Amino acid sequence: SAVISQKPSRDICQRGTSLTIQCQVDSQVTMMFWYRQQPGQSLTLIATANQGSEATYESGFVIDKFPISRPNLTFSTLTVSNMSPEDSSIYLCSVEEGLAVADTQYFGPGTRLTVL
Amino acid sequence: DQQVKQNSPSLSVQEGRISILNCDYTNSMFDYFLWYKKYPAEGPTFLISISSIKDKNEDGRFTVFLNKSAKHLSLHIVPSQPGDSAVYFCAATGGTSYGKLTFGQGTILTVHP
């Protein structure tokens, strides 16, 4: 499976600031996703990062708060904007491998964000 | 609306015995199911998956069973090992939601030596 790295691995930020998280894959992939895991909660899909076009956001998530870039098939960024303590979460990128309609997603190591 | 549910927050098992983790879903459009294991400070690791055309899939010590009529799946780990101690998530996708995984809340498995 693809090797996925994320930067930073963790950060502590002040409220009102923004943080950009990078996701790098060692091979070209069509589908990349961003998830959030809030403390004690499950993983929730934020958006699908589309190469060359705007990301597709899930209900409850908006571009102004979570702008996403996908400049090529191996890289994506997620920005958490105007942060508040409620944004404290683990943020994960994932990639889907394979050409079937339903394929397995593989996850990066995650970015643990704490907002004070 | 919790479409994927893992009703047991935790499970404790003795080493060498069987671990059974359960998962229920409500969306009848789901037709592909996955299990992930997650250690603290790491991303989820894919374990095993099953398509709705099957009722069982096996990979080494891990077997997933799917009961479509009951909208229920389970993960069996035999024999359980202390290194299996982690949080286990089931996830589902299908219908118009292909590519979008819906996760359960997770079950903390502890395997005692």
Instruction: Check if A21 contacts B (Cβ < 8 Å).
Output: no
Residue B36 and residue A107: Cβ atoms within 8 Å?
A: yes
H helices of chain A, where? none
Instruction: Check if A44 contacts B (Cβ < 8 Å).
Output: yes
pLDDT for A64 equals: 97
Query: For B50-106, what is each residue's pLDDT tens digit?
Result: 999 999 999 999 999 999 999 999 999 999 999 999 999 999 998 777 678 999 999
CB A44 within 8 A of CB A75: no
**Cα-trace Rg, chain A:** 13
Sheet bearing B72-77, strands edge to edge: B4-5, B19-25, B72-77, B62-67, B56-59
Q: Rounded to an integer, what distance in angstroms lies between the CA atom of residue A78 and that of residue A20?
A: 6
pLDDT tier, A100 (very low <50, low <70, confident <90, very high otherwise): low
pLDDT for A78 equals: 98
Residue A98 scores a pLDDT above 80: no
Q: Taking residues A8-24, what's their average pLDDT?
A: 97
Residue A110 and residue B51: Cβ atoms within 8 Å?
A: no
Q: Which residues contact B8 (CB under 8 A, 6 or more apart)?
A: B21, B22, B107
Instruction: Check if B107 contacts A (Cβ < 8 Å).
Output: no
**Cα-trace Rg, chain B:** 13
Among candidate residues B14, B17, B16, B21, the one with its CA nearest the CA of residue B112: B14
CB B90 within 8 A of CB B30: no
For residue B103, list chain A residues with Cβ-Cβ distance below 8 A: 42-44
Q: Rounded to an integer, what distance in angstroms lies between the CA atom of residue B78 and that of residue B51?
A: 21
Q: Rounded to an integer, what distance in angstroms lies between the CA atom of residue B108 and that of residue B58?
A: 22
pLDDT for A103 equals: 73
Residue A107 and residue B93: Cβ atoms within 8 Å?
A: no
Query: For A55-80, what is each residue's pLDDT tens digit?
Result: 999 999 999 999 999 999 999 999 99
Question: Three-state DSSP class for A43?
Answer: strand
Q: Mean pLDDT lowest for which of A51-60, A77-86, B8-17?
A: A51-60
For residue B44, list chain A residues with Cβ-Cβ distance below 8 A: 43, 92, 107
CB atoms within 10 A of CB A108: 28
Nearest CB to B99 within list A1, A96, A112: A96
- Tell which wins on pLDDT, A30 or A95: A95
Q: Rounded to an integer, what distance in angstroms lies between the CA atom of residue B103 and that of residue A41?
A: 10
If 0-12 CB within 10 Å is exposed, 13-18 middle and 19+ buried, where does residue A56 land? middle
pLDDT for A53 equals: 84
Question: Three-state DSSP class for B17?
Answer: coil
For residue A4, list chain B residues with Cβ-Cβ distance below 8 A: 43
In chain B, what are the helix, strand and coil shares in percent, each to the nearest 5?
5, 55, 40
Residue A101 scores a pLDDT above 60: no
CB B21 within 8 A of CB B6: yes
